[in-house]
Amino acid sequence: MSSLIFPAVLSGLMMGAVYALVALGLTLIYGVLHIINFAHGSLLMLALYAVYFLWSYFGVDPYLAIPIVLPVFFVLGYCLQRGLITPMSNGSEQNILLITLAVSMIIENLALYFWTSNTRTADIAYAYDTVEILGAFLPLGRVIAFCAAIAVAPLLWCFMAYTRTGSAIRAVAIEKRGAELVGIDVNHTYAICFGMGTACVALAACLLLPTFYITPQVGYTFVLVAFTTVVLGGMGSLPGALIAGLLLGVIESLCGLFLGESLGQIGIFLAFILILLFKPSGLMGRAR
């Protein structure tokens, strides 16, 4: 058994990096808008289909699809926030929550209608080439996803810390009224943030597709894991999301190993409930 633990931890880390990437988008949106975006998983599903169709109809390699899908989903996220969520919510937090839920219902059920519930996989030849790391064999696609996700977190952090847009986002997150007074366009900043969160999901889709399946419901599994990651990392904390994502990947992988495949995710949800109850501010979050 112990010989299985190390490979399980490694493959958990690989999956965890993708969870972290999805959660980075979610935590970015939460940190600034203070809303939980229920549509996040559906947007991931939409992005997966976009990458899949680019690959199957036009032969675009999922990794080369990044420069196409990323801007498109940034714009989609921007428009969603500016065109739908802000005008329809009357500014109440609960309404925003419900509108993102409604958006996810619309996306998911339309996907079910147009693309049916069939499971699709992209058979990309090199994705399952194995790489040997310290005696464990891992699929190439997962290793690439891991490296990319690990690279994105510091990039995002630098963006927030050193650019003007980044400071505007932080200003709005801390004090909305004050930011407005010094001339920051709050609605624009919100929408930028939502766009960036959606772009993270699009990137995650490009990295996931080679080694994952797609169904219209695939977003649901990810969104719950992403919620857990965000809460565990501390709502709004980028480094927290990265660490929490990796940790949850390992938890899931180990639970899968010891309790059986179908119960793997239970570890995640139990962790979720325990964190929400005992430390809702998370690992790296500010005290509420």
- Closer CB to another protein, residue 33 or residue 143? 33
- Binding pattern to another protein, positions 14-43, x when CB under 8 A? ---------------------xx-------
- DSSP at 117: S
Tell me which stretch binds another protein (CB under 8 A): 45-53, 107-115, 173-181, 198-206: 107-115
Among the residue ranges 105-113, 128-136, 155-163, 192-200, the one whose residues contact another protein (CB under 8 A)? 105-113
**Can you tell me which of 3, 57, 58, 87 binds another protein, judged by CB under 8 A?**
87
Q: Is 3 buried (19+), middle (13-18) or exposed (0-12) by CB count in 10 A?
A: exposed
Which burial class, exposed, middle or buried, applies to 44 when counting CB atoms under 10 A from its CB (0-12, 13-18, 19+)? Answer: buried
Nearest Cα residue to 225 out of 203, 199, 253: 253
Q: How far is the CB of 282 from another protein (least distance, A)?
A: 11
Burial 228-264 (b: 16+ CB within 10 A, else e): bbbbbbbbbbbbbbbbbbbbbbbbbbbbbbeeeeeeb
Q: Using CB under 8 A, which of the segments 4-12, 14-22, 151-159, 219-227 binds another protein?
A: 219-227
Closest separation in Å from C-beta 278 to another protein: 7
266 binds another protein (CB under 8 A): yes
Residue carrying the six token digits 């790296």: 284
| Stretch binding another protein (CB under 8 A), from 59-67, 154-162, 241-249, 277-285 | 277-285
CA distance 9 to 69: 31
CA distance 32 to 186: 10
Please give the size of the binding site for another protein, defined by CB under 8 A. 41
| Nearest C-alpha neighbor of 22 from the set 206, 171, 192, 167 | 206
Residue 110 interacts with another protein (CB under 8 A): yes or no: yes
The residue (of 168 and 235) whose beta carbon lies closer to another protein is 235
Site for another protein in 148-207 (CB under 8 A): none
Pick one of 84, 124, 138, 283: the residue that binds another protein (CB under 8 A).
84
Q: By CB under 8 A, name the one of 75, 129, 269, 286 that touches another protein.
A: 269
CA 131 – CA 147 distance, rounded (Å): 13
Exactly one of 228, 229, 237, 253 binds another protein (CB under 8 A); that residue is 228
Phi, psi of 188 (to 5 degrees): -65, -45
- Single out the residue of 226, 222, 166 nearest to residue 193, CA to CA: 166
Q: Which of 125, 177, 262, 287 binds another protein (CB under 8 A)?
A: 262
Residue 153's Cβ-count burial label (10 Å; 0-12, 13-18, 19+) is: buried
Indicate whether 95 belongs to the interface with another protein (CB under 8 A): yes
Q: Is 152 exposed, middle or buried (0-12, 13-18, 19+ CB in 10 A)?
A: buried
Q: Which residues bind another protein (CB under 8 A)?
A: 35-36, 84, 87-90, 93-95, 97-99, 101-103, 105-106, 108-110, 112-113, 220, 224, 227-228, 231, 260, 262-263, 265-266, 269-270, 272-273, 276-278, 280
